[in-house]
Every structure is written in C-alpha cells, then in structure tokens.
A = this chain, B = another copy of it.
Amino acid sequence: MVNRRTHHTSTSRRAHARGAGHLPAERRSQVERRRQTRRALLDAALQQMDGGYGFDSLSLRRVARAAGVVPTAFYRHFDTMDELGLALVEESVATLRSMLREAREGGTEAQHLIARSVEILVAHVREHRRHFAFMAHARASGNAVLRHAIRSETKLFASELATDLARFPILRDWSTADLQMLAGLFVDTMIATIDAILEASNGGAGTEGLSPETEARLVTQAEKQLRIIVLAIPHWRST
C-alpha cells in the first residue's frame, strides 16, 4: 500500500496561486496578505452575484474559487457565508450613508433639491452598482439574517431622513408619525427607482449597461414622482 498523501512538486502549487493566492515573491506582510484575501472574497461574492443572481445562490466554494483561494481558506476570514453577507451589508450601508451626507450638503430649495437628490442617487447606484444590486436582492431574499439586517437599516435610513425633513419650515408643525410617513414615501419611491435602474442595466438585451435614454426616462419619472409628493405638502393637515 502506497502513501495515501501524495507529495506534489512545489511548481504545481505555484501554478495554482491566483488572485489573492500565495505569492511569496511579493513579500507582503501577514496582515496585508490577510486583508487582501478578505477583500478578494468580498469582491468575488459581489462579482458572482453580478449576473442578477442573489446572495442565496452563492456557494462558499464558488466564492473561494472566484477569489483564487482554496475553499478551506474561507474559514480564516468568515465562519459562515452569512457573516460574509453581513460584511457586505455593512459596506453597502456605508455607501447609503455617504449618499445621504452628500445630499445634505447644498441648498434646500425644493425644485433643485429634487433634481440634485435624484442625480446623487443615480450616480451612487452607477458607482456602487454591485452593492446596490446585492441589497436589492437580499432585501427580499430567503436569507432571514440578511433580510432583517437590510430592513432595519432601511428603517434607520428613513428615520434619519425624517429628521432632516423636520428642519424644513413648512414641515415644522408636522407630527412625528406624519414625518415618518412622508420619509417612508420618499424612501419607497427611491427604492423603486433603484430597482428600476438595476433591472434596466441588468436585463438590457446584451448591452450590459444602462442606455442614456433609459436612464433619462427613469430620472424624469423619479423627479416627477418626488415633485408630486412635494406639491402635496402645503396642503396636508398633520394630526
């Protein structure tokens, strides 16, 4: 009976080194190597979801493979796929926060505010398409952990928006509940816009990207929808 564990040559091992794999020639520090592999796993997960497939359809092995790493190396960074998913939620939420921050800087005149907000939204979705697509899917996915994480972040986001809205003179006398209602309406409309953008840029027949015409149409529609809500504000009698 021969030795069960085969002794491979070192060259065969080198041949497997790809992406975040083991590249001794580079002389990276251990912590840097670790950081890069973690990043590669997160990016691989986002990349694998790119075709419009959700987090649920990922497998640990596919993510590891796409990251250029052996499946077992995954466990050096995350205990489960859920933990990787939560890390992606954190990154995505950071993107949302930066969006809200950017929207806060600038004038408060309604007409410009709407156009600017939609512009910022579209720019962010384009810039961080994978993160938004991840959230759009995971929001309604089968994974309860991710779904709840994203839902609660969405509620938090709406609450922060309500606080911002409270600063407008015309909304000063609205009840908290009505401000939340209004913020919810804005957020729901934004989410619908995000969905529409993502659908148009994924589902497009082979074009892979969002055509300028389609984008313009979606921007116009979103602006109109926000504007019609704003139009109603002076006529609302808050309880």
Query: Which residues of A approach B to under 8 Å, CB–CB?
Result: 52-54, 56-57, 136-137, 139-142, 144, 147-148, 151, 178, 181-182, 184-185, 188-189, 191-192, 195, 199, 203, 221, 224-225, 228-229, 231-233, 235-236
Contacts and interface: CB of A to CB of B under 8 A. Distances in A.
9 closest A-B pairs (Cβ-Cβ)? Answer: A232-B232, A53-B142, A188-B192, A54-B142, A231-B232, A140-B140, A57-B142, A228-B232, A231-B235
What is the count of identical protomers in the complex?
2
B140 A181 contact: no
Contact of A188 (B52, B57, B189, B199): B189
Nearest to A228: B232
Given A56-B141, A229-B232, A232-B235, 20 more contacts: A52-B142, A56-B142, A57-B142, A137-B140, A139-B140, A140-B141, A140-B195, A141-B141, A148-B203, A151-B203, A184-B192, A184-B221, A184-B225, A185-B228, A185-B229, A188-B188, A188-B225, A228-B229, A231-B232, A232-B232
A140 to B, nearest CB: 4
Per DSSP, chain A at the interface is helix
Nearest to A135: B140
Contacts of A181: 221, 224-225, 228
A56 B148 CA distance: 18
A132 to B, nearest CB: 12
Contacts of A140: 54, 136-137, 139-141, 195
